[in-house]
Amino acid sequence: MYRFIDHTADIAFEIEAETISELLRDASLAFYDAFVYVEELKADTIREVQVNEDSVDYLLYSWLNELLYLFDTEKFAGKFAEVEVVEGDGIAARGVLKGDILSPEKVKMEPKAITLHNFTVEKRKDIWYAFVVVDI
């Protein structure tokens, strides 16, 4: 689950999820929902994303930066996301995004950067929580 938060000159959203995989999946959906008209996207283009980090917070940060990279370089936006997280020596996420290559009319606004300002990832009882700010 994700919801948008009023934030001056940026886009902010928070995510609550039962697992780290769901946290990354819902963060993906929130990211795309903020910047494109998701309901107008097809799901006929597939992109795979893989990131490895030492902690869950940097895993989410790197994951979102990969999505931003795909948005910037390929004009790709995802409509659906499946994410698998593997913990071991660090933590890794592998995911498949199904979406579309954007035409200008499908873009609400352009994201510039995932910021570390107020970036939060924490486990609250049995729920993973994240707060993300994206510079626009």
pLDDT tens profile 50-105: 999 999 999 999 999 999 999 999 999 999 999 999 999 899 999 999 999 999 99
Is the pTM higher than 0.85? The answer reads: yes
pLDDT for 107-127, tens place per residue?
A: 999 999 999 989 999 999 999
* pLDDT of 7 over the 70 cut: no
Q: How many distinct structural domains can be found in the chain?
A: 1
Q: How many residues are there in the chain?
A: 136
CATH code at position 96: 3.55.10.10
* Parent domain of 127: 2-6+15-135
